[in-house]
Structure 1
Amino acid sequence: MRIAVIGAGGVGGYFGARLAAAGHEVTFVARGKHLEAIHRSGLSVHSPLGEFHTSPASAVPSISDLGSADLVLIAVKLWDTEVVAEQLQASEARQAPVLSLQNGVHKDGILRRHVPDDQILGGLCFISAFIEKPGVITHNSSLQKIVLGPYHASQRSISASLVGILLDAGIDAELSADVEKAIWEKFVFLVGLSATTTTIRQPIGVIRSNKRSRQLLYDVMAEAVALAQATGVRLDDDFAGAQLDFCDTLPVGMTSSMHNDLEKGNRLELPWLSAGVVDLAAQQNIAVPRNRTVSDILAPYVLGRPADG
C-alpha cells in the first residue's frame, strides 16, 4: 500500500516505520531536524519488540508534497487537526481513506468539516513512544495496538482489510464493531489520567494511593462517562469504577503526555480533554464540576509556560 503518515512523532513514527518495514510505501510528513534526519538516514525505531527503520528520504515537509495514497494515517497533536484536514483536501492524497490515531472524541468531527464522511474511519491506538532524537523513535514497552472500525456499513470491507495489513506488519490490531464506543472508552481513561497527573504534577502511583486524589480521579472519569451516555454512547454505569481498578494495575511511575508537556513548558491538549468535556457537557446541559476545575487550573498553561503577568 501507499501510506501517508501525517506526523512522524512517537505514534506516527512507530506505526509508520512498522508498515514500511513490512514492505509498504510509507511517506511521512515531518518537519525541522526530524525531517532532515529522515532524509539523511531514514527513521529508526528502538523497541523491546525489535529494531527497524525506514529508507532515507521517506518524508516530505508538507501535505501538499504528498502523492496519491491508499491510506492516510493522522498522528499530529489535536490543535493541528483543522489545518491538516484543510491541506489534505487540497493534496493528491485527498481521495484516500483517513484513519486518525489522535486522542479524544473531537478529532473525527473536526476532520468531517473538510474530508468526506465516508472516507473517515474510526480509530484509536495504545502506545508509549517518543522522539528520542531527530530520526529516532523510542518505544517504551511491548504495548502497541490499533483499534479501528467502520462508521458506516460501506466501510466494513476496508476496515477488515486494514486490520489484516496491520497484523501482517507486526502491529497488534483489532476490528471494533462499535468504534465510537471504543474511542469514548479510551477518552474516559485519558481524561482521568491527564487531568490528575497534570494538575497534581505526580504520576498515577501517587494519585491512586491518596484517598482524596483517588476520588478526584474517579470523579473526573465518572463525569466523562455521564457525558458519553448523554450523547448516546452506551457505556456501563460502573465504567468509571472499572477504569479506576485498571489504574491500580498501571506502573507507579506512569504519567500522561499532557503532564510531560506541562513540565516541558509545551502547549497542552487541554481543550480536547477536560476542557473538551466542559464544552461538550454545556451542549448537553449537564454539570461537570471536577473537569471544569481542572480546566480552570490549567488554563494559564494551554499555550505553554506563561510569561510573568
Structure 2
Amino acid sequence: MRILIVGAGATGGYFGGRLLQHGRDVTFLVRAKRARQLAEHGLAIRSVTGDVDLPAPPTVLANELADPFDLIVLSCKAYALDQVMDDVAPAVGPRTTILPVLNGMRQLDRLDGKFGAAHVLGGQCVISATLDDDGVVRHLNRMHSITFGERDGSRSARMQQITRELSGAGFDARPSDAIVQEMWDKWFFLASLAGITCLMRGSIGEIAATPHGPAAALALLEECRVTAAASGYAPGERVLERARALLTEPGSNLEASMLRDLRQGHPIEADHVVGDMLARATRLQLPTTMLGIVDAHLKVHEARRLAGTLP
C-alpha cells in the first residue's frame, strides 16, 4: 500500500516515521524547507517508547505529485486544510482513501465537498509531540494512537487492508465501528480543554486552584456536551465523567496544545475547535455564554497576532 503522509511535523513525522521504521511504503508531502532538512539530517524521533533515526526519508513537493496513492493521511493543522486539499488533489485517484486525523468535525464536510464522501474515512489521533528547532520530533509521553473507521460503521475490505497496514508499526492503531461518535467525544472535550486553558492562560491544576475556575470549566464542558447531544452524538456517561474529572483535577499539568501555540505566537485552530462548536450551538439555539466568551477572547488574540501587536 502506497501511503502519503501530509506533513512531517510533530504528528505526521511521528506516525509516518513509525510506519517507515516498520517497512511500510511511506512518502511525506512537505514544503521545500522541510524537504531540504530531511534530506540533510534525516527524520529523527525521540521518544520514551523508542528513538528512531531515518536517513533521507522519501519526500515529495506538492508540484511533484502526479500518481495516485492508496492512502493519504492528513495530519496538518486545521487552518491549513484548504491549501492541503488543493495540494493533494493530484494524488487522489478512484481508489484512494483519505484518513484525516485533524481535531474537530468540520474537515469531514470540507473533504466530502472536495473529493466525495466515498473517499473519506473518519479518524483521529492522540499524541503529545512537538517539533524542536532542529527538526527533531519529540514525543512527550507514552500516548500514540490513531483511531479510524468507515463513517457508517461498516467493516469494509479497505478497512481490513488499512488495519493490517497500520497495525504493528510501533503505535496503537485501532479500527472503530463508531468513529464519528468517537470524534465527537474527543471534540467536545478538546473544545472545553482548549477553551478554558487558553482563556485562563494556565494549566488545569492552576485553574482548579482558583475559587471559580472549576465551575467555569464545567460550564464550558456542559455547553459542548449539550451541543454534541443535540447534534445526535451525546457522550456516554463514562466519557462525560472522565471529562469532568480531567477538567477539574487539582495539581494537574494538563493544558491544550492550542495554549502552547498561543504562547509561542503561532497560528491557532480556534475557528475549527471552538468556533465551529459555537456555530453549531448557535444554529441549534443552545446556550453559548462560555463558548461565546472563549471565542471572542481567541478572536481578539488572533487579530493582535496578525497585526503584530501581541505583548
Fold similarity call, TM over 0.5: yes
Structure 2 letter corresponding to 1:167: S
Q: How far off is 1:299 after superposition?
A: 0.9
Structure 2 letter corresponding to 1:205: G
> Mean Cα displacement is larger for which, 266-275 or 239-248?
239-248
Cα distance in 2 for residues equivalent to 1:219 and 1:201: 17
1:265 alignment partner, SS class:
coil
User: Residues 3 and 26 of structure 1 are in contact (CA less than 8 Å); yes or no, is this contact kept in structure 2?
Assistant: yes
Q: How does 1:122-137 map to 2 (within 5 A)?
A: 122-137=122-137
Cα distance in 2 for residues equivalent to 1:207 and 1:34: 37
Q: Decide whether aligned partners of structure 1 residues 222 and 156 sit closer, same or farther in structure 2, where only a CA change above 3 A counts.
A: farther
> Mean Cα displacement is larger for which, 153-162 or 172-181?
153-162
Residue 115 of structure 1: aligned partner: 115
Cα distance in 2 for residues equivalent to 1:164 and 1:10: 24
Q: How far off is 1:191 after superposition?
A: 0.7
Q: How does 1:137-152 map to 2 (within 5 A)?
A: 137-152=137-152
> Mean Cα displacement is larger for which, 197-206 or 178-187?
197-206
Residue 176 of structure 1: aligned partner: 176
Q: How does 1:66-85 map to 2 (within 5 A)?
A: 67-85=67-85
Residue 41 of structure 1: aligned partner: 41
Cα distance in 2 for residues equivalent to 1:301 and 1:65: 36
Residue 267 of structure 2: aligned partner: 267
2:236 alignment partner, SS class:
coil
Cα distance in 2 for residues equivalent to 1:64 and 1:250: 51
Q: Which consecutive residues of structure 2, in runs of 5 or more, have no partner in the other structure? A: none
TM-score (norm 1): 0.91
User: Residues 269 and 302 of structure 1 are in contact (CA less than 8 Å); yes or no, is this contact kept in structure 2?
Assistant: no
> Mean Cα displacement is larger for which, 60-69 or 116-125?
60-69
Residue 302 of structure 1: aligned partner: 302
User: Residues 127 and 144 of structure 1 are in contact (CA less than 8 Å); yes or no, is this contact kept in structure 2?
Assistant: yes
Cα distance in 2 for residues equivalent to 1:280 and 1:84: 24
Cα distance in 2 for residues equivalent to 1:20 and 1:264: 31
User: Residues 33 and 134 of structure 1 are in contact (CA less than 8 Å); yes or no, is this contact kept in structure 2?
Assistant: no
Q: How far off is 1:210 after superposition?
A: 2.8
Q: How does 1:182-193 map to 2 (within 5 A)?
A: 182-193=182-193
Q: Does 1:225 align with 2:225?
A: yes
Q: How far off is 1:237 after superposition?
A: 6.4
Residue 59 of structure 1: aligned partner: 59
User: Residues 5 and 73 of structure 1 are in contact (CA less than 8 Å); yes or no, is this contact kept in structure 2?
Assistant: yes
Offset from partner CA, 1:191-242 (integer Å, 9 cap, x none): 1111111111111211233341111111112111111111111423685443
Cα distance in 1 for residues equivalent to 2:293 and 2:249: 27
Residue 165 of structure 1: aligned partner: 165
Q: Decide whether aligned partners of structure 1 residues 32 and 133 sit closer, same or farther in structure 2, where only a CA change above 3 A counts.
A: farther
Computed over aligned residues only, the root mean square deviation of the Cα atoms, in angstroms, reads 2.3
Offset from partner CA, 1:132-183 (integer Å, 9 cap, x none): 1344211011110111111136663322332332221121122212111000
Residue 92 of structure 1: aligned partner: 91
Structure 2 letter corresponding to 1:93: V
Structure 2 letter corresponding to 1:297: H
Residue 235 of structure 1: aligned partner: 235
Q: How far off is 1:30 after superposition?
A: 1.7
Q: Which consecutive residues of structure 1, in runs of 5 or more, have no partner in the other structure? A: none
Residue 3 of structure 1: aligned partner: 3
Structure 1 letter corresponding to 2:86: E
Q: Decide whether aligned partners of structure 1 residues 177 and 92 sit closer, same or farther in structure 2, where only a CA change above 3 A counts.
A: closer
2:114 alignment partner, SS class:
coil
Structure 2 letter corresponding to 1:31: R
For these two proteins, the number of residue pairs brought into alignment is 308
Cα distance in 2 for residues equivalent to 1:15 and 1:251: 31
1:273 alignment partner, SS class:
helix
Structure 2 letter corresponding to 1:185: D
TM-score (norm 2): 0.91
Cα distance in 2 for residues equivalent to 1:154 and 1:34: 38
Q: Percent identity?
A: 24
Q: How far off is 1:62 after superposition?
A: 1.7
User: Residues 42 and 58 of structure 1 are in contact (CA less than 8 Å); yes or no, is this contact kept in structure 2?
Assistant: no
Q: Decide whether aligned partners of structure 1 residues 280 and 64 sit closer, same or farther in structure 2, where only a CA change above 3 A counts.
A: farther
2:167 alignment partner, SS class:
helix
Residue 16 of structure 1: aligned partner: 16
> Mean Cα displacement is larger for which, 180-189 or 77-86?
77-86
User: Residues 42 and 135 of structure 1 are in contact (CA less than 8 Å); yes or no, is this contact kept in structure 2?
Assistant: no
Cα distance in 1 for residues equivalent to 2:140 and 2:50: 12
Q: Decide whether aligned partners of structure 1 residues 112 and 64 sit closer, same or farther in structure 2, where only a CA change above 3 A counts.
A: farther
1:126 alignment partner, SS class:
strand
Q: Decide whether aligned partners of structure 1 residues 104 and 303 sit closer, same or farther in structure 2, where only a CA change above 3 A counts.
A: farther
Q: How far off is 1:92 after superposition?
A: 3.1
